[in-house]
């Protein structure tokens, strides 16, 4: 068909599956196993449905203000989007508009190359070293911008702030985005670096540590200039991105810091226990600072384990891709869920060994 010549063709990102089985254990998309903060639940119950008649606040001001206060920055340094996917996608469109390739690791969040292709941004994937770490010196080449998650996904590895800063310091002429989707599980945020670098954009999300993946709330913090440019593109794209209920509930999530710390603390504790149990079962993994571990077994192929778990309605994530096709990304669930996983693996691996 002639019209197809002019279609903007793309290969879409494939999200982890969202099965809806009664007794499944879902450890495949890094969601939080605990409910959102009690204040979020109450605000949802008390919500005035008549307010839905009106458009929501286009600047997402209630959430912007709550985040600015929480992170001790100015409101015009904060941009809120419909999940960090929306924020990063807008940021690609806004800041990655040069001729040189943008840079990101070869093993990383697999949406980056999809956005780059969609927006026709040239890109270069920089191999992680043999221990899955980022080498800052590899990012000292001509480029049109940089993005990397810290901790990285799917490895879970955290890079120290000195390395993050080395990359930002060496690239003053482009925008550097640090995707901190998993920073709340024991990592050190790059937020203090904002005082020194006006080309730094830090992206975070409510989907993991704030238990609100279903509401779709993400944000970024950067210099006023970056946020202004980002808003110009957002308002040229869709003014009312975030719906009214999500705005109201996100504010409640930010208010309850004690609950936030309790939930993230619990997940970190479970993660550290699970690391020990997986090691005892013959798994190895990079030392994760996220709410997942990226594990390989010493003798059983990851794909076999993935299929067996799936049969038992335990969902983890597996990619049939170079470098990572013998690893499983396992989200940290509740202690009970992780006990089921470990029990299953114990039996399964014992049977395989016979």
Contacting residues toward ligand PMP, per CB under 6 A: 83-85, 109, 149, 153, 179, 181, 205, 207, 213, 218
| C-beta separation of 39 from 252 below 8 A | yes
Contact 128, 106 (CB under 8 A): yes
Give every strand in the sheet of 218-222, ordered side by side. Answer: 78-81, 218-222, 200-205, 176-179, 146-149, 102-105, 123-126
Instruction: Find the shortest distance in angstroms from Cβ 64 to ligand PMP.
Output: 16
Cβ closer to ligand PMP: 87 or 227?
A: 87
81 contacts 243 by C-beta, under 8 angstroms: no
Do 274 and 317 meet the contact criterion of CB atoms below 8 Å apart? no
* Residue whose CB is less far from ligand PMP, 205 or 288: 205
Instruction: Using CB positions, name the residue nearest to ligand PMP.
Output: 83
| Cis peptide preceding 151, ω within 30 of 0 | yes
List the structure tokens of 336: 């009970």
Q: Which residue has the tokens 């993050």?
A: 164
User: Could you tell me the smallest distance in angstroms from the CB atom of residue 90 to ligand PMP?
Assistant: 12
In the bound complex, what is the minimum distance in angstroms from residue 134's beta carbon to ligand PMP?
14
CA-CA distance, 155 to 151, in Å (whole number)?
8
What's the start-to-end Cα distance of the chain, in Å? Answer: 57
Nearer to ligand PMP, 247 or 348 (CB): 247
CB of 19 to ligand PMP, least distance (A): 17
Burial of 191 (0-12, 13-18, 19+ CB in 10 A): middle
Least distance in Å: CB of 146 to ligand PMP? 15
Closer of 38 and 214 to ligand PMP (Cβ): 214
Q: Which is nearer to ligand PMP, 213 or 268 (CB)?
A: 213
**CB closer to ligand PMP out of 132 and 348:** 132
- CB contact at 8 A, 271 and 332: yes
154: preceding bond cis by omega (within 30 degrees):
yes
Give the shortest CB-59-to-ligand PMP separation in angstroms.
19
Of the two residues 78 and 340, which places its CB atom closer to ligand PMP in the complex? 78
Question: Least distance from C-beta 54 to ligand PMP, angstroms?
Answer: 26
- Nearer residue to ligand PMP within complex by CB, 207 or 300: 207
Half-sphere exposure of 91 (CA within 13 A, CB side): 36
Q: Which parts of the chain fold into alpha helices (H)?
A: 38-45, 61-71, 83-95, 112-118, 161-169, 224-235, 244-255, 257-280, 302-311, 335-353
168 vs 220, which CB is nearer to ligand PMP?
220
CB of 171: closest distance to ligand PMP in angstroms? Answer: 20
CB of 343 to ligand PMP, least distance (A): 28
Nearest partner of 325 among 349, 353, 294, judged by Cα: 294
Looking at the chain, how many residues does it have? 354
């Amino acid at each position: 068909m002639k019209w197809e010549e002019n279609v903007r063709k793309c290969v879409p990102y494939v999200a982890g599956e969202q099965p809806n089985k009664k007794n499944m254990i879902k450890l495949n998309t890094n969601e939080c196993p605990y409910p959102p903060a009690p204040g979020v639940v109450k605000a949802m119950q008390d919500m005035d449905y008549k307010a839905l008649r009106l458009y929501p606040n286009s600047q997402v001001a209630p959430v912007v203000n709550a985040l600015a206060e929480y992170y001790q920055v100015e409101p015009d340094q904060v941009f809120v989007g419909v999940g960090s996917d929306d924020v990063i996608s807008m940021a690609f469109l806004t800041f990655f508009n040069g001729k040189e390739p943008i840079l990101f690791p070869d093993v990383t969040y697999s949406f980056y190359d999809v956005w780059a292709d969609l927006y026709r941004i040239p890109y270069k994937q920089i191999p992680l070293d043999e221990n899955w770490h980022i080498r800052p010196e590899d990012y000292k080449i001509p480029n049109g911008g940089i993005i990397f998650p810290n901790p990285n996904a799917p490895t879970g590895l955290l890079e120290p702030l000195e390395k993050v800063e080395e990359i930002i310091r060496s690239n003053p002429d482009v925008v550097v985005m640090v995707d901190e989707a998993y920073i709340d599980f024991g990592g050190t945020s790059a937020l203090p670096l904002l005082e020194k670098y006006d080309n730094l954009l830090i992206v975070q999300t409510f989907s993991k540590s704030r238990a609100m993946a279903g509401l779709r709330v993400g944000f970024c913090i950067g210099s006023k200039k970056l946020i202004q440019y980002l808003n110009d593109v957002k308002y040229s794209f869709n003014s009312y991105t975030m719906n009214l209920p999500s705005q109201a509930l996100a504010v409640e999530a930010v208010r309850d810091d004690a609950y936030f710390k309790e939930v993230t603390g619990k997940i970190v504790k479970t993660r550290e226990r699970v690391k020990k149990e997986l090691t005892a079962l013959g798994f190895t993994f990079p030392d994760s600072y996220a709410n997942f571990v990226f594990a390989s077994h010493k003798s059983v192929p990851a794909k076999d384990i993935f299929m067996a778990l799936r049969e038992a309605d335990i969902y983890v994530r597996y990619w049939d891709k170079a470098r990572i096709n013998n690893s499983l990304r396992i989200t940290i669930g509740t202690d009970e869920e992780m006990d089921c996983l470990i029990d299953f693996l114990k039996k399964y691996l014992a049977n395989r060994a016979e």
